[in-house]
Structure 1
Amino acid sequence: MATTARTTSSSPSHPLLRLRLAPHGPLPRRLDGVWWPHSRDLLTQLPPLLAALPSAWGDITGITVDATAWSSAPGRTFVAGQVVRLHKATTPHVPDTVILLSPGHGRRDLLVIPPDTTEEAAGLLMTAALDDRAPGTDGEA
């Protein structure tokens, strides 16, 4: 599995980005990655997230989030040199998911681990969410 964790600085004002992306493959996936933000302040968490995404994902121009999970934010914001439309769904199809839209490149879904999750639990969730094995299989015969 591919793991992406980039940092602009290790100072407290720019903490490590906690993001794990699924490997690219021929079959569609339910989740394209897992993101563990440091807070529920969408406007401070989006710039490092968008900056760390693979260029193959294209320019993200639309983002849908669960309205109940994030702080208030305008309908549009300027991130990474581009305008990004923010849609806050009141009844998301999949809670705790961020949906990223890129014209010509499609949709990417990231599972969001709540910021207050312990490091141990978040690590387990990040691994389990991107595990390709069928539930209940552990690789034993």
Structure 2
Amino acid sequence: MSTVLQRPPAQPVARLRLAPHGPRPRRIDGAWWPRSRDLMIELPLLIGALPPTWGHVTGAAVNADIWAASPGRLLIAGHVLRLRREPGSRNRHTICLLSPGRGRWDLLVVPPEVAACDAERLMAAAAAEVC
């Protein structure tokens, strides 16, 4: 009798496009296209896909109106991330990521229900050199 080992299902990869690093700060540092509006699922994927040069992200601010309810703190890869949910934020479709001593990054959030061709276009525009 032989045993067949099955691989666990692969975890989805974050759909993320970052702007090239430059000497001047940018208003938008790239774009993120989550698969759902559940931050408990989506934030670990996003944080895991960020470049090491961004350092340890300890905080995130999002518009509460577009995300499902979630706690104010999340444990991601053994580290606590403080989540600030701002109702009616003027930056409706962005997420702000904070890393002490490294900086702040603002990403355009492409809504999950946007069609792939439109999402790709939005992400490319957000990550372009001139935005």
**Normalized against structure 2, the TM-score is what?**
0.88
Higher relative contact order (CA 8 A, sep 6+): 2
Unaligned 5+ segments in structure 2 are: 1-6
Shift of 1:15: 2.4
Shift of 1:16: 3.1
- How many residue pairs match? The answer is 124
When the two chains are superposed, the root-mean-square deviation of aligned CA atoms in Å is 1.6
Moved over 4 A (4+): none
The answer to whether 1:113 aligns with 2:110 is yes
Q: Which amino acid aligns with 1:102?
A: S
2:25 to 24, 28, 36: 28
1:6-60 deviations in Å (ceiling 9; x for gaps): xxx9x5x622321001111111111111000000000000111101111111111
User: Between the two proteins, what is the percent identity of the paired residues?
Assistant: 50
Q: Name the larger-Rg structure.
A: 2
What residue in structure 2 maps to residue 37 of structure 1?
34
**Normalized against structure 1, the TM-score is what?**
0.82
1:82-121 → structure 2 map (5 Å cutoff): 82-121=79-118
Q: Whose helix proportion is higher, 1 or 2?
A: 2
Shift of 1:111: 0.4
